[in-house]
Structure 1
Amino acid sequence: MNKNRSSMLIVIGASAGGMDALKKLVTQLPQNFPAPVFIVTHMSADATGDVLVKALNESSHLTCVHAQDKQAFKNGNIYLAPSDQHMLIVKGKILVTKGARENRSRPAIDPLFRSAAVAYGNRVIGIILTGYLDDGTSGMMAIKRCGGVCIAQDPEEASYPDMPKSVIANVGADYCLPIAEMGSVLSDLLSRDLPENKPAPEDIMIEAKIAQRVLSDLPAVQALGEQVPYNCPDCGGVLWQMTEGKLLRYRCHTGHAFTSSALLAQQTVKIEETLWVALRMFEERQNLLVTMSKNESKQSSSSISQRAKDSQVHIDRIRAMLKATDKDSHGEGAR
C-alpha cells in the first residue's frame, strides 16, 4: 500500500440540515475505508449527539462514535465531536477541549479543520456541507494553505447553502459536488501519491495552539492582527481584526473568535438581550409610578402620572426596536 494513504484523514463540517447530508455521504464509504473521518456539526450544549451517532451507524459500513480526549484514532472509523466541546487533531490522537466558542459555536468547525491542517498538512481532505453563515471557511483556508484538499457541497442542493457558498467564494473549492458524487472522489484522492509536507504557516499554528488552550494571551492575538474599537460580545474583551483574503475575522485574547458575519449576528443577539432588560426596567418603573400616583396629593399625582406617560413613550420605542432586531436576527441566520 502507498505509505501516504494510511496517514490521510477526512474532516467534515456541517450545520443546519446536516444530519441528512451526513447520512447521504457516509453511506458511500466502504467498510475498509482507508482513512479516519472526523465530523463537527453544530448542536446545542444540552444535546447529546446520540441521535446522530445512531443515524450514522445505521447508514454507514463504518463505526461512528463520540470522540474522547486523547483517543487514538483508526482508519475506517467516524469520530463525532461531543456537544459543547471542541474536537481537535494532533498526531495520532484526538483532543477534546472546553475552549472558547468560535463563530458562536462549540463544537466549531474551524478549530477541527485548523488543527488537522497543522498536524497533517497535505494529508487532509476537508468537506463543508449545508449550514448557516460561514463557520468552516477560515478552517478550510488553513487546510488549503497547508496543501490539503477542499471539497464543498454544491450550494444548489444544500438545504442551507451559506457555508458552502462562503467556502467557494473565499477559498475556492477544489471540488464543488453534489453529495452523491463525493464518495468516488474521496476514493480517488486517497489513492494518490503526495509530496512531503511543509511546516504550517505560523499564524495557523498560533490559532491551533489557542484552541488547545496552550496559548491564549495578548502577544498571541497581537501577532495575528490589529486591535479594533469593538468588544467581544461573549466576554467583553477587546478584539483584534485578522484579514484572510476577503474574509474578515476577529479574536479576543481569551480565545473567542468570529467571522464578521458571526460577530454581527452575535452583536444582534446581545442587543436584543439588552433591549429586553431595558423594556422590563421601564415597565417596572411605569408600574411603580402608577402605584405612587394613587397615594399622592392631586398636584403630586399629576406630575407622577406624566412621568408614567413618559415611560410609556420609551416602552413603545423599545418594543419597536425589538421588532426590528427580531427581523435582523432572522436575516443573519441566527442559530
Structure 2
Amino acid sequence: MAKKASFRLFVIGASSGGHSAVKAALANIPADINAAFLVVIHSGYNTISNFVKHLSGRTSLKVVQASHNLEIEAGTVYISIPDKHLVVQDGVMLLSYGPRENLFRPSIDALFRSAAVTYKNQCMGILLSGRLNDGTAGLEAIKDCGGLTMIQNPETAEFEEMPLFAQQHMVIDFIVNVEDISAVIDEISMDDLPPEKEAPVHLIRENAIATNLKSDVIATESLGDRVPLSCPECKGVLWEMKNSNIVRYRCHIGHSYTEEALVESKDNGLEEALWIALRTLEEKRMLLLKIISDYKKRNLSQLVLSYENKLEEVLRHINQIRKVMQLEKQ
C-alpha cells in the first residue's frame, strides 16, 4: 500500500503580472492533493472577488477568499484580501492589520515568515511575477526553517524584479517556467518531507512583531542594530536586521523595508513634501495678489512695491519646485 503523502502548505506571492501567473501555476493541480495554498497578490480593493471567480474556473482546487480564524484545509486555495496581512498560526489563517512591510499590506514576507515558523519543513514558498522585492526575506525564512523555495523563471516572467531579486540573494531550490509549476508542485507533494529544523529564535520574534503580537523597542533591538535613518511611515528609529543575507530595516512599530523599498518610500515622501510646499506657496501667492490689489486701490505705492518683491520671490520658488517635480517624473 502506498504511503500517504504528508500535508504541505504552499504559500504563493506575486505582484505585477501576478494574477495570470497564479492562474497558470495552479491550473493543473489535482483536487485530491494533500496540500493547501495561501496566496498573497499586491492588488487593488476591487479585484479580489473577481479573481476568486476567475481562478475557480481555471483549477480543480476549491478557491475561497481568506477570512479570519478560518481553518486551513487540503485541496483549497485561499486568496488574501486588500489591506490585511494574511498570516498563519496553529492550523488557521489570521487577517492582521499589522504594519506594512516593503510598502505593502498584505505583505508576501509576512505570510511566508509566519508559514515558515508554523509549518517548518512542510512549507514551500513560491515567488512569482512582480516589481520590487517583497518575498525574498520570506523565502529566506522558509529555507531557514527547513522548507523549500521556488521562483518563477525571471527570464520568462512578465515582471522579473521579484523573482530575480530572490535568485540574486539566495540559493533557490526550484526555478521553473510558470506553465510547469503545477507539475513540480504535484511531484513535491508526493516526495518525502525535507529534514526537520527548529525555527530560529530571531524569526519567531520577528514574526510576533509582524503579526502585531509583540511590538516594542527591546524586541526590535534584539533583532538588529540602530541606524541613523527614520521610518517613512511612523517617523520612528530604524534598526538594520541581523541574521539575513538581505539588507532590511524595521522600526519598533513593525514597519519593514528592504533597502530598495526604503528608497522607494523616501522618494514617495519627498514627492509628498514637494506637493505640500507647492500648495503652500500657491496659497501665499494668492494672498500676496490680494494684498497688492488692496494696496493699489488705496494708492500705497511703497507697500505695493514691497509686496510685489515678495511675490516675485514666491513665484521664483514655485517655478523651482515645479522644475524639480518635472525632473522627478522623467
Tell me what 1:330 maps to: none
RMSD of the alignment, in Å? 1.4
Q: Secondary structure at the match of 2:322?
A: helix
- Residue by residue over 1:223-253, the C-alpha shift from the partner in whole angstroms, topping out at 9 and shown as x without a partner, is 1111111111111111111155542111111
Does the 8 Å contact 1:136/1:163 carry over to 2?
Answer: yes
Give the structure 1 partner of residue 294 of structure 2: 295
Distance 2:34 2:269 in 1: 45
- 218-227 vs 87-96, greater mean Cα deviation: 87-96
Report SS of the residue matched to 2:70.
Answer: coil
Task: Supply the distance in 2 between the matched residues of 1:298 and 1:278 (Cα, whole angstroms).
Answer: 30
The residue that corresponds to 2:203 in the other structure is 204
String of CA shifts for 1:22-61, please: whole Å, max 9, x gaps: 11111121121220001000123x3351011111101110
Separation in 1, partners of 2:195, 2:156: 36
Q: 1:305 aligns with which of 284, 305, 308?
A: 308
Match of 2:40 in 1: 40
For 1:136, the equivalent position in structure 2 comes to 135
Cα shift at 1:321: 1.7
**2-side partners of 1:84 and 1:167: how far apart?**
24
Matched letter for residue 110 of structure 1: D
**Amino acid corresponding to residue 319 of structure 2 in structure 1:** D
What is the Cα deviation at residue 127 of structure 1? 0.5
Alignment of 1:317 with 2:315, yes or no, is no
Partner of 1:30: 30
Task: Quote the Cα distance in structure 1 between the aligned partners of 2:263 and 2:216.
Answer: 24
Distance 1:2 1:93, change over 3 A: farther
Aligned ranges 1:128-277 → 2 under 5 Å: 128-194=127-193, 197-243=196-242, 245-277=244-276
Alignment-derived partner of residue 59 in structure 1: 58
| Alignment-mate amino acid for residue 289 of structure 1 | L
The one-letter amino acid of 2:250's match is R
Matching of residue 21 in structure 1 with residue 21 in structure 2: yes
Q: CA 1:194–1:120 in 2, change beyond 3 Å: closer, same or farther?
A: same
Contact 1:146 1:201 in 2 (8 A): yes
8 Å contact kept, 2:26–2:181: no
User: Structure 1 CA distance, aligned partners of 2:286 and 2:91?
Assistant: 63
Counterpart CA distance in 2 for 1:184 and 1:26 is 9
CA contact (8 A) 1:43 1:107 kept: no
Cα 1:89/1:280, change in 2 over 3 Å = same
Shift of residue 196, structure 1, vs aligned partner: 5.1
Question: What's the TM-score, normalizing by structure 1?
Answer: 0.93
Q: Secondary structure at the match of 2:71?
A: coil
Q: Is the 8 A contact 2:220 2:251 kept in 1?
A: yes
Paired position in structure 2 for 1:331: none
Which aligned runs of 4 or more in structure 1 are off by greater than 4 angstroms? Answer: 243-246
Contact 1:222–1:240, Cα closer than 8 Å, also in 2: yes
**8 A contact 1:216–1:254 mirrored in 2:** yes
User: Aligned equivalents of 1:262 and 1:17: distance in 2?
Assistant: 19
Pick closer, same or farther for the CA change 1:245–1:216 going to 2, 3 Å.
closer
- Structure 1 stretch 133-142 or stretch 19-28: which is displaced more? 19-28
Shift of residue 289, structure 1, vs aligned partner: 1.2
Aligned to 1:36, the other structure's residue is in SS state strand
List gaps (5 residues or longer) in structure 2: none
Q: 1:234-282: CA deviations, max 9, x gaps?
A: 1111111115554211111111111111111111111111110100111
Secondary structure of the structure 2 residue equivalent to 1:122: helix
The CA distance in 2 between the partners of 1:148 and 1:195, in whole Å, is: 7
Asked if structure 1 preserves the Cα contact closer than 8 Å seen for 2:170 and 2:245, the reply is no
TM value normalised by structure 2:
0.95
CA radius of gyration, larger in: 2
Q: Are residue 99 (structure 1) and residue 98 (structure 2) matched?
A: yes
Decide whether the 8 Å contact of 1:48 with 1:82 is kept in 2: no
